[in-house]
Amino acid sequence: MTEATQTAEPVKAELEGIEIHLLTEGIYQHYGFDFRDYSLPSLKRRIWKRIYAEGLSTVSGLLEKVLHDPACMERLLLDLSVNTTAMFRDPTFYRAFREKVVPMLRTYPFLRIWHAGCSTGEEVYSMAILLQEEGLYERCRIYATDINEAVLQRAKEGIFPIHTMKENTSNYIAAGGHGTFSQYYVAKYDYAMFRESLRDHVIFAQHNLVTDASFNDFNVIICRNVLIYFNSALQNRVQKLFFESMEMFGVLGLGKKETIRYTGVVDSYEILDADEKLYRRIQ
């Protein structure tokens, strides 16, 4: 490596950092979507994917296009939000929820549950099925939110590709499902249409965890596989939002790789299940 390339690489990285900062700041100021505190490595990967797809070659080029072309912003938004999900994803989480949380929920006459970052809704349908089987669904109101309007639209429809039913069915069984999974949907061509009754108590709405305020007091807040995309300052802020939105003795459920350990709310919760990241507000 020559001396020139040795100095060129850090300069290139520094410039890229400046450009990404300008891009996220521009998006925030113009569209109100705040990606400024998203974790950098995954943000970079997704931005570059969009740069190539748009036939561009620099982050600055993308900034210019995004600011002047809302359709490009829509496309970037889809890239920036990772929407991977599945029904009864991490089945042991749902098993622990049944065993440790459901008995507590039985003591409430009415339940408000918030699924934050619900993506295409598989997580919400899973919870509705679980609560129906436990006889709690009729007393629930489930708020299912995501930053991304396109995934919410699919969640509202409740129609999922039939080929995903194999994994969903084995997850359902591993999660301790009481019935047969196929009783919850009707198969039509390549799709599985989920029973409308599973949506009766669900309100789907756009909500941005970074910029929007709390909108209710909840007995349960589930936010799984969303905070991993945020840096630690943003995780802290979102945990504060959850804490302020949580009833006393309410339950918080996070994803496998997420924790409240390094946040300001750690002393306000007791651990219900350390492996499954289930916590209960105690102060």
Cα torsion angle, 133, 102, 237, 213, sign = positive
Q: Which residues contact 145 (CB under 8 A, 6 or more apart)?
A: 114, 115, 116, 117, 118, 152, 204, 205, 206, 207
Taking the C-alpha atoms of residue 193 and residue 245, their distance in angstroms, rounded to an integer, is 32
Least Å distance between CB 212 and ligand SAM? 8
Q: According to CB under 6 A, which residues from 50 to 79 bind ligand SAM?
A: none
Q: Is 171 in the site for ligand SAM (CB under 6 A)?
A: no
Least Å distance between CB 160 and ligand SAM? 13
Site for ligand SAM (CB under 6 A): which residue of 62, 93, 96, 123? 123
Site for ligand SAM (CB under 6 A): which residue of 20, 113, 130, 147? 147
Q: How many alpha carbons fall within 13 Å on the CB side of residue 253?
A: 27
Site for ligand SAM (CB under 6 A): which residue of 65, 76, 119, 129? 119
Q: Which one of the spans 8-16, 57-65, 113-121, 153-161 is the region binding ligand SAM (CB under 6 A)?
A: 113-121
Q: Is 39 in the site for ligand SAM (CB under 6 A)?
A: no
Q: Is 232 in the site for ligand SAM (CB under 6 A)?
A: no
Q: Is 151 in the site for ligand SAM (CB under 6 A)?
A: yes
Per the CB < 8 A criterion, the answer to whether 176 and 187 are in contact is no
Per the CB < 8 A criterion, the answer to whether 180 and 171 are in contact is no
Taking the C-alpha atoms of residue 56 and residue 66, their distance in angstroms, rounded to an integer, is 12
Site for ligand SAM (CB under 6 A): which residue of 2, 5, 84, 107? 84
Total residues at the site for ligand SAM (CB under 6 A)? 21
Query: Residue 15 is inside which H or E element, if any?
Result: helix 3-31
Q: Is 82 in the site for ligand SAM (CB under 6 A)?
A: yes
Q: According to CB under 6 A, which residues from 207 to 226 bind ligand SAM?
A: 208-210, 224-226
Site for ligand SAM (CB under 6 A): which residue of 146, 168, 172, 265? 146
Per the CB < 8 A criterion, the answer to whether 102 and 220 are in contact is no
Closest CA to 251 of 90, 87, 114, 86: 114
Q: Which residues contact 29 (CB under 8 A, 6 or more apart)?
A: none
Beta carbon nearer to ligand SAM, 195 or 237: 237
Beta carbon nearer to ligand SAM, 210 or 260: 210
How do 185-188 and 191-194 pair as beta strands?
Answer: antiparallel
Binding site for ligand SAM (CB under 6 A): 81-85, 89, 117-119, 123, 146-148, 151, 208-210, 224-226, 255
